[in-house]
């Protein structure tokens, strides 16, 4: 007899997690609590309630976490200008710590012994969910069905559904997307299908959130983005809540063909994976945030922050959001944001998000010094001679000793 009496499952209501509910009930003889999060995936989450009830689930949690997701996870990450391996804006990675947190919260509230998820044994998400679970509840048991069962294909899953009379919205005749997709307010990802061949171009009808750049309007769209302490607070002068900001930027970006990405990334579990991503709002946010920082951050502060960013990105990608190193890095990053306030004007046009203006009351840009016109003595150009000679001293000494310089 299993020592697991109750388990909290991250439940989408789809084929995989519906099978998992029944499999947990049968394999572990336990009660299953389902948790469904609305983090802006663009699909109704309430139908998951009826599906869970049909599977005999008594405790069902369905939560709108959109604002918390953007405010407490996306915004802090964008303060760091976070990009993994030079391209990926971490849309999937950043959603996992919030889901892990709520799984543990619900486990504590319901007295559950274990948590469970539908991540496969090949990807990064199993690592992210479980690292978060162990960090927040060290003794929790984690059940990962994909590492235990033999239901290794869609056909086997469907056969299991038929055998156990599991009501899911799939049939053998219904066309299913060939891609494995994951969506939230920050992005939508695509893997599998023809994308498993890195040479094959993604099909145009795969993309859900954006038009092709060549099909975008011939007239640019402008948007003014207002910042306070490194976070966006308004668009075109209209104060918005964090999730409303991202929703609106996603629409503006998608309509203008912005945010498509096709990459091969290095997964934490060791393999390379080819994936395509749509991150229209995030692409705009990254450019705009760097623009307001260019006015308001000290040079060395900005350069050191850029040096920290790849490590921060790696920590988030690998699933260590709840680690001491992430908290340490976050504290340093947040310290830099105290004066990152102002407005950035962006031009959105056929796949590009271009900064065309920026202003701030906290700006360190001094026009009287930077001007090419008469600066009325604000900057003494003669000072440059000594500055250059001192910085050249080591080079002059080495050259004087006959050391090769090329």
| pLDDT, tens digit, 9 for 90 and up, residues 315-355 | 999 999 999 999 999 999 999 999 999 999 999 999 999 99
The pLDDT, as a whole number, for residue 175 is 59
pLDDT value of position 169: 62
The mean pLDDT of 202-214, rounded to a whole number, is: 97
| Chain segment 374-396, per-residue pLDDT in tens | 777 778 888 999 999 999 999 99
Joined together, the tokens standing for residue 88 give: 């990926």
What's residue 173's pLDDT? 47
Quick one: pLDDT band at residue 172, thresholds 50, 70, 90? very low
What is the reported pLDDT for 309? 98
Give the helix/strand (H/E) hosting 61. strand 59-64
Closest listed residue to residue 182, CA positions, set 351, 350, 16: 16
CA distance 103 to 142: 11
Q: Which of 2, 71, 72, 180 is catalytic?
A: 180
* Listed residue (85, 19, 88) closest to 52, CA to CA: 19
| Per-residue pLDDT reduced to its tens digit, 49-94 | 999 999 999 999 999 999 999 999 999 999 999 999 999 999 999 9
Q: What is the dotted CATH code of the domain comprising 6-67+89-164?
A: 3.40.50.620
Query: Residue 333: helix, strand or coil by DSSP?
Result: helix
The predicted pLDDT at position 168 comes to 66
Active site residue 180: yes
Q: Locate tokens 């850029």: which residue? A: 306
Q: What is the pLDDT of residues 220-246, one digit of tens each?
A: 999 999 999 999 999 999 999 999 999
- CA gap 312, 314 in Å, rounded: 5
Nearest to 341 by CA among 356, 360, 358, 357: 360
Choose the catalytic residue: 79, 96, 128, 326.
96
87-100: per-residue pLDDT in tens? 999 999 999 999 99
Instruction: Give percent above pLDDT 90 in the chain.
Output: 85
User: Which is catalytic among the residues 79, 93, 113, 125?
Assistant: 125
CATH number of the structural domain 180-297+340-359: 3.90.1260.10
- Record the tokens describing residue 389, joined without a space: 């000679």
Is it the case that residue 262 has pLDDT exceeding 50? yes
Q: Where are the domains of the chain?
A: 6-67+89-164, 180-297+340-359
Write out pLDDT tens, residues 196-207.
Answer: 999 999 999 999
Structure confidence at residue 299 (pLDDT): 97
306 is catalytic: no
Is the torsion defined by CA of 347, 313, 328, 40 positive or negative?
A: positive
Nearest to 19 by CA among 122, 115, 163, 126: 163
């Amino acid at each position: 007899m299993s020592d697991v009496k109750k388990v909290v499952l991250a439940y989408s209501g789809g084929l995989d997690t519906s099978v998992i509910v029944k499999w947990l009930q049968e394999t572990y003889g336990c009660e299953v609590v389902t948790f469904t999060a609305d983090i802006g995936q663009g699909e109704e989450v309430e139908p998951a309630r009826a599906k869970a009830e049909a599977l005999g689930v008594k405790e069902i949690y369905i939560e709108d976490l959109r604002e918390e997701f953007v405010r407490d996870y996306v915004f802090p990450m964008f303060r760091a200008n976070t990009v993994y391996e030079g391209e990926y804006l971490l849309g999937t990675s950043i959603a996992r710590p919030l889901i892990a947190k709520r799984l543990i919260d619900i486990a504590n509230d319901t007295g559950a012994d274990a948590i469970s998820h539908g991540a496969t044994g090949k990807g990064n998400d199993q690592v992210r969910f479980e690292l978060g679970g162990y960090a927040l509840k060290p003794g929790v048991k984690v059940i990962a069905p994909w590492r235990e069962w033999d239901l290794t294909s869609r056909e086997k899953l469907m056969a299991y559904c038929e055998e156990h009379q599991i009501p899911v919205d799939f049939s053998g005749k219904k066309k299913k997307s060939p891609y494995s997709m994951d969506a939230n307010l920050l992005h939508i990802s695509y893997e599998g299908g023809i994308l498993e061949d890195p040479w094959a171009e993604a099909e145009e009808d795969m993309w859900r959130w954006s038009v092709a750049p060549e099909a975008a309007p011939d007239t640019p769209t402008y948007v003014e983005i207002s910042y306070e302490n490194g976070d966006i607070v308004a668009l075109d002068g209209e104060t918005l809540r964090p999730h409303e900001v991202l929703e609106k930027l996603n629409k503006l970006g998608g309509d203008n063909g912005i945010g498509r990405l096709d990459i091969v990334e290095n997964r934490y579990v060791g393999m390379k994976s080819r994936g395509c991503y749509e991150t229209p709002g995030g692409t705009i946010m990254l450019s705009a945030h760097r623009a307001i920082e260019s006015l308001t951050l000290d040079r060395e502060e900005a350069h050191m922050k850029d040096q920290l960013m790849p490590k921060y990105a790696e920590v988030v990608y690998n699933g260590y959001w709840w680690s001491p190193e992430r908290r340490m890095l976050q504290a340093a990053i947040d310290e830099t944001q105290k004066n990152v306030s102002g407005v950035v004007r962006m031009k959105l046009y056929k796949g590009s998000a271009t900064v065309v203006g920026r202003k701030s009351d906290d700006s360190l840009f001094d026009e009287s010094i930077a001007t090419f016109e008469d600066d009325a003595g604000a900057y003494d150009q003669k000072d440059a001679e000594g500055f250059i000679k001192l910085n050249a001293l080591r080079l002059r000494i080495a050259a004087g000793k006959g050391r090769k310089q090329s």
